[in-house]
Amino acid sequence: MYNFQEAIFVTSSGNYKKCPPADKPEIAFIGRSNVGKSSLINMLVARKGLAKTSGKPGKTQLINHFLINKSLYLVDLPGYGWAQASKTLRIGWNATVNQYLLHRENLACLFVLIDIRLPPQKIDLLFINWLSTQDIPFAILLTKADKISKQQITIQLKNFKQTLALYAISPREYFVTSSNNQLGKLEVLEFIEQILSANN
Ligand code: GTP
Ligand code: MG
């Protein structure tokens, strides 16, 4: 089992060109503001305050690189779909993140986080659809599963799978997660291990 023994914050970049050298595989976390990207990174590395979290959407504004065991980068990206963000900020987000996604050659997999409680949202579907046209490998992580019952989890997961199938979109994998009760942690770590061995 992959174990995150060492996790260090490396740098925050406003531009993909300023990111650390692309010499290790990297996994990035993306999704709407407040969906739980930073919290999920902290859960995986078992370090509460490593990635900054907040109850207020729009906390993460830059591309944040964390180096794991000197051999893997985890990347915390700014959230999309933050209604209160100024128009300039939203356009800036698109440019920064789009450029990162299109040009970062060591991006091994993108984790797309979606709040499990909501029906599939247009902004997520548009984004995922764009991803599949760009051949960017991605997995879907349904977050905050501690907020609904087991029965609702099954229904929501089925719903997402059906909706994406309708658009002929096939993620590498689906995960149900909770940063509050560690649901999905082992499965996600195993998946990361698989990605790393495929990249070696
Ligand atoms: P931005 O950086 O603003 O895009 O947000 P983010 O996606 O990084 O979200 P963040 O991890 O900061 O979490 C947002 C809020 O959701 C915080 O109040 C977290 O405590 C809460 N939260 C995150 N994950 C979970 C979860 O699994 N369960 C519950 N109940 N709350 C969560
Ligand atoms: Mg964040």
Per-residue model confidence (pLDDT) at position 55 = 79
Q: Would you say residue 56 has pLDDT above 90?
A: no
Q: Could you report the per-residue pLDDT of 115-165, keeping only the tens digit for each?
A: 999 998 888 898 898 888 888 999 999 999 999 999 999 999 999 999 999
Measure the CA–CA gap between 130 and 187, rounded to whole angstroms: 26
What pLDDT is stored for residue 108 in this prediction? 96
Domain boundaries, the chain: 7-199
The correct answer on CATH 3.60.21.10 for the domain covering 7-199 is no
* Best probe residue, ligand 1, of 30, 34, 40, 96 (max atoms within 8 Å of C-beta): 34
- Which residue out of 179, 181, 183, 188 has the highest number of ligand 1 atoms within 8 Å of its CB and is therefore the one to mutate? 179
Q: Which ligand places an atom closest to the C-alpha of 34?
A: 1
Which atom of ligand 1 lies at the shortest distance from residue 61's CA? 2
The ligand whose atoms approach the alpha carbon of 32 most closely is 1
Residues 6+ apart with CB under 8 A from 73: 10, 20, 24, 25, 26, 27, 65, 66, 67, 106
Q: How many whole angstroms from 23 Cα to the centroid of ligand 2?
A: 24
- This prediction has a pTM of 0.94
Query: What average pLDDT is seen over the chain?
Result: 89
Give the pLDDT confidence of 21-50 residue by residue, as tens digits: 999 999 999 999 899 999 999 999 988 888
Closest by CA to 185, choosing from 29, 41, 5, 26, is: 41
Rounded Cα distance between 170 and 161, Å, is 9
